[in-house]
Structure 1
């Protein structure tokens, strides 16, 4: 390829993207003009929501001072005065960057924009949202779908009058949504309530299961105590015969407390096993008694069948007197 052909090819590579991009830009301008006309017509007809949205879309495609001014006017008529004040401010800032000739083309728009901005500013409501001190770290707050960073929480921010949807999402917890109404000129400070995961409320079935588990556990402890007491009691009786053979008359002395080495060891062992046996029987009886009280006082669901009789058991002090008290349960079943 000659040097001349290489230059032509290079120039073609540079110009092709421009040739492709030009129709796209022209198409955006045409679309923006159609959206502007649609938005202006809807605004004049009082359909502010669709009108303002069409004007905003036109401004995004083809930013123009006149479109921005019209969009600010639409927002003001729609009642979104905080947004309107911002739009008028953006228009005035853009107006300052225009050339003198372009400024002349704007006519009375700058004066109207300043007047509207000054009249609407005192009517703009302010809303402050903050989290309580015990809110979990990482809790996300959104206002009208927009995430509010830490720097925005607790600060009075301008908002449009009307209803605002606030959502709170603690880490690991459910998303909570609340709706806040605010009027023109109103200033609200709201501390949001962060609710944790819903705690399970124990029902009758859960309570009954826990009671039955306690009944089984205490009954098992009681049975184990009786077994231990019986085993230790048998060992104690076995040691008693050894003591009789190696103490007192068993070794030929009158003192029944005198024992040889074997007798002394058996006596000490019998004392230990006897104590353990006594404790074991005590624990066993207490455990079985507690299990019996839990069983007899267990609340029953009301029988739906006609004529059914429910148990009525009361646990507590049955008798009291100088000699002591008697504990137990009474009633019918």
Structure 2
């Protein structure tokens, strides 16, 4: 009695499960039909992406041969010719396993599938991905997120035309990805590149001190002690400024001096021979103007020469009195120089200078 009750309970449980599965299958079929209708409408309207996705979902819920044929046609119209060729091949493989009455219900679909597959097959592009030389073991190659096994590397595999994302990842490193584009009918071979590591870069040259210590070759280090005074930046700037002023003064003095000599001819012609520049009473108006101009430019020349020589002298003093470190034993001894303008005039100038070096 007990064993019969147990067998009856098990039978009822199995029948209950079967009764629950029937409504679920019916719902899947209804959903598959709705998705098929939507996908077919989108396909006919040129919305291939949404149409093909709806047809693929319909086939997943209810794998009917007619849905597979329509999905293959949609993929072909979308331009995914490698996928379309595969779908047509799957459909023809199903037809080969059908009974004659089932094949008759397919009508012209098998013939159209063969024709379409033959037309598209030559246009399918192929892509071969290879590891670079020296790639470490465990390197992973992906194409559009799909991992390619070792047997698939270096083989020209069919892909859909357009852009693809390929990547390589070595153990312990982030993936290195790149986008490539392939056209219909094209065959492309690509060797992926590894990320450059610090060990693969050219070694930097050693410091001059290390090079000299190991090989004896290289520039000798400049002698310096702990008490060596640094040259103040403001002092060196003053050297450049005063030197520049001095050079400009000499240039101006030379230009104005040349202009004074240029007036000499006009003075001699309009003031008489032997007349000094300062004596303008014997000059006509032209000579008077030339003498006045020459006198003014002579003063400017004298002042410019004086400023120029003074500036150069000051720059020399600043430069030669900079502290110079001569060694820890003797300490620092400044160099000095003194320069001055003793006399300056239209005819020239006399300078004097003294110092310790």
TM-score range for the pair, normalised by the shorter chain length: 0.5 to 0.7
Q: CA RMSD in A?
A: 3.3
- Check 1:135–1:24 CA distance in 2 against 1; reply closer, same or farther (3 A cut): same
Unaligned runs of 5+ in 2: 227-232, 240-357
- Check 1:145–1:295 CA distance in 2 against 1; reply closer, same or farther (3 A cut): farther
Structure 2 counterpart of 1:109: 109
Distance 1:143 1:198 in 2: 27
Give yes or no for contact 1:32–1:62 (8 Å, CA) kept in 2: yes
Distance 1:17 1:164 in 2: 46
Structure 2 counterpart of 1:189: 189
What do the CA deviations read for 1:190-209 (whole angstroms, capped 9, x no partner)?
A: 111111446799xxxxx9xx
Structure 1 counterpart of 2:124: 124
Distance 1:197 1:39 in 2: 49
- Within a 5 Å distance, the mapping from 1:75-90 to structure 2 comes to 75-90=75-90
What do the CA deviations read for 1:228-259 (whole angstroms, capped 9, x no partner)?
A: xxxxxxxxxxxxxxxxxxxxxxxxxxxxxxxx
**SS across alignment from 1:171:** coil
Deviation of residue 295 (structure 1)?
A: 8.7
Deviation of residue 120 (structure 1)?
A: 0.3
Distance 2:225 2:154 in 1: 57
- Normalized against structure 1, the TM-score is what? 0.60
**SS across alignment from 1:87:** helix
- Normalized against structure 2, the TM-score is what? 0.56
Distance 1:130 1:294 in 2: 58
Moved more, 104-113 or 10-19: 10-19
**SS across alignment from 2:107:** coil
**SS across alignment from 1:60:** helix
Structure 2 counterpart of 1:312: none
Distance 2:116 2:78 in 1: 14
Give yes or no for contact 1:174–1:197 (8 Å, CA) kept in 2: no
**SS across alignment from 2:142:** strand
Give yes or no for contact 1:211–1:294 (8 Å, CA) kept in 2: no
Structure 1 counterpart of 2:55: 55
Unaligned runs of 5+ in 1: 202-206, 219-285, 297-302, 310-333
- Check 1:105–1:199 CA distance in 2 against 1; reply closer, same or farther (3 A cut): same
Deviation of residue 293 (structure 1)?
A: 4.8
Distance 2:238 2:145 in 1: 59
Give yes or no for contact 1:132–1:192 (8 Å, CA) kept in 2: yes
- Check 1:150–1:308 CA distance in 2 against 1; reply closer, same or farther (3 A cut): farther
- Check 1:291–1:23 CA distance in 2 against 1; reply closer, same or farther (3 A cut): same
Structure 1 counterpart of 2:94: 94
| Higher CA-based Rg | 2
Deviation of residue 57 (structure 1)?
A: 1.1
Give yes or no for contact 1:81–1:160 (8 Å, CA) kept in 2: yes
Distance 2:142 2:89 in 1: 26
Q: Does 1:158 align with 2:158?
A: yes
- Check 1:8–1:172 CA distance in 2 against 1; reply closer, same or farther (3 A cut): closer
Equivalent residue pairs, number: 225
**SS across alignment from 1:19:** helix
